[in-house]
């Protein structure tokens, strides 16, 4: 009951690292506790990302209204937009951060790294099950 309470109230389990992948050197029960805390962290990050996307969309719509009133047509925040080779500006979604000093050849716009999916949280027993599955099916790890 106590674990469910922590989960539903989005509180971290005390005495367990909050945002780390499971330490395979600890007992299996502790690994599962670490997974719970990591999932709570990911849940919180997902909520923040959703709110950030919502605010980005609101900012984009307000900057579109502002640029419609201006004569130059350039959005107030160029980071939110990418320029196509036709000169048209489109909303940039799924961009995490600039990728060094790389630029696009046609437009000269900076290249952004994408937001990627998080890796799986594997405990010792799940790693063992995955290895057994791979051995039974005859597939190599690279094919998965």
Domain boundary assignment for the chain: 1-62, 79-115
Residue 107: Cβ within 10 Å count: 13
- pLDDT of amino acid 71: 45
Would you say the pTM of this structure is higher than 0.75? no
Token pair belonging to 75:
């959005």
- The yes-or-no verdict on residue 74 having pLDDT over 80 is no
Look at phi and psi of residue 10 and say left if phi exceeds 0, alpha if psi is from -120 to 50, else beta. left
- Who contacts 17 (Cβ-Cβ below 8 Å, separation ≥6)? 23, 34, 37
For residues 33-57, average pLDDT: 85
- The yes-or-no verdict on residue 97 having pLDDT over 70 is yes
User: How many Cα neighbours within 13 Å face the side chain of 15?
Assistant: 1
Q: What is the DSSP string of 30-72?
A: HHHHHHHHHHHHHHHHHHHHHHHHHHHHHHHHHHHHHHHHSSS
Question: Which of the given ranges, 51-55, 58-62, 110-114, has the highest pLDDT on average?
Answer: 110-114
For residues 93-111, average pLDDT: 83
Q: With CA atoms as reference, report the closest residue to 77 among 89, 63, 66.
A: 63
φ and ψ at 114, to 5 degrees? -80, 160
Lowest mean pLDDT among 6-15, 47-56, 125-134: 47-56
């Amino acid at each position: 009951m106590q674990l469910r309470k922590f989960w539903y109230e989005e509180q971290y389990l005390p005495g367990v690292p909050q945002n780390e992948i499971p330490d395979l050197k600890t007992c299996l029960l502790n690994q599962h506790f670490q997974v719970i805390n990591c999932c709570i962290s990911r849940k919180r990050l997902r909520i923040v990302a959703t709110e950030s996307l919502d605010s980005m969309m609101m900012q984009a719509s307000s900057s579109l209204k502002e640029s419609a009133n201006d004569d130059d047509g350039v959005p107030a925040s160029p980071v939110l937009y990418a320029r196509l080779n036709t000169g048209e500006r489109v909303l940039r979604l799924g961009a995490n951060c600039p990728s060094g000093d790389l630029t696009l050849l046609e437009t000269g716009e900076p290249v952004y790294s994408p937001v990627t999916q998080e890796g799986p949280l594997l405990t010792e027993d799940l790693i063992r099950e995955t290895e057994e599955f791979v051995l039974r099916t005859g597939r190599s790890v690279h094919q998965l």
